[in-house]
Amino acid sequence: MSESAVTKLIGIVPGVLWVVFATVVFCVLRPAIVAQLHRMQSLRTPFGEADFATNMTLIGEAAAQSQAQTGVSVTIRARRAAVSRLDHAADIVRGGRILWVDDHPEWNRAMVQLCERVGMTVDTARSTDEALGILCPHGYDLVITDMRRGDDGQAGESLADEMERRALDIPIIVYAGHFDPRAGVHPAFFAYTTGVDGLVHYIVDVMERVRFSEAV
């Protein structure tokens, strides 16, 4: 073998060795890599692609209903982000209990179905009196209320006042077509929103706190 051939061979050997080394490492780590990829895929859609698509349809219906009432639209990206978070929080929200107070429950049908699809129980009430007849200190994890009912533009605040008087320490989310925080925000309100995406995020926020308090 000529000297030039030997020189070329010496130059090729390191590259070949690196290829062999990389192949060996991949073969050794392949099971762990595949398992990690499967885990990441399951984290993306715990409920499955079909369920994710159905949840997107429901939040789309809810967004359309909300837009008809408020004129404010929710982008597809914002809806997808909300459903993705709900999807990833499956174990957190499952088993949660909501009391939804609204004199027009038909406007919330799609959102109620969405909550129920992820394993939550949703009861409804049309008035403050009906809600107070249902509520008990440990019966619900969350109350969702509108602000105006009939001629009462402060019905949501009245509900919060009555809950405080009865020592019903339950987080309250105001979900209303029109809400002006400049007029003041009741201290008992956990959050307020006019959008379905914001509502989903706040529901998960409340349930995260509930699960944390149960764990300590």
Q: Is the pLDDT of residue 9 over 60?
A: no
Containing domain of residue 101, as a range? 49-215
Which tens digits make up the pLDDT trace of 146-166?
A: 988 888 878 999 999 999 999
202 and 117 co-located in one domain: yes
Domain termination site, one of 25, 44, 63: 44
Kindly tell me the burial class for residue 74, based on how many C-beta atoms sit within 10 Å of its own C-beta (0-12, 13-18, 19 or more). buried
131 and 163 co-located in one domain: yes
Helix (H, G, I), strand (E, B) or coil at 187: coil
89 and 4 co-located in one domain: no
Helix (H, G, I), strand (E, B) or coil at 108: helix
Q: Is the pLDDT of residue 101 over 90?
A: yes
- The DSSP letter of residue 174 is E
Q: Is the pLDDT of residue 13 over 60?
A: no
The CATH number for 81's domain is 3.40.50.2300
Express as a percent the part of the chain with pLDDT over 90.
Answer: 56
Ranges 79-83, 92-96, 101-105, 177-181: which has the least confidence: 177-181
100 and 71 co-located in one domain: yes
157 and 105 co-located in one domain: yes
34 or 141, greater pLDDT: 141
Owner of token pair 């690196």: 18
Q: What Rg do the C-alpha atoms of the chain give, in angstroms?
A: 27
65 and 149 co-located in one domain: yes
Taking residues 79-90, what's their average pLDDT?
A: 95
Q: Is the pLDDT of residue 20 over 70?
A: no
95 and 122 co-located in one domain: yes
72 and 128 co-located in one domain: yes
- pTM higher than 0.95 for the full model? no
Q: How far is CA 213 from CA 76, 142, 207, in A?
A: 33, 14, 10
Considering its fold, how many domains does the chain have in total?
Answer: 2
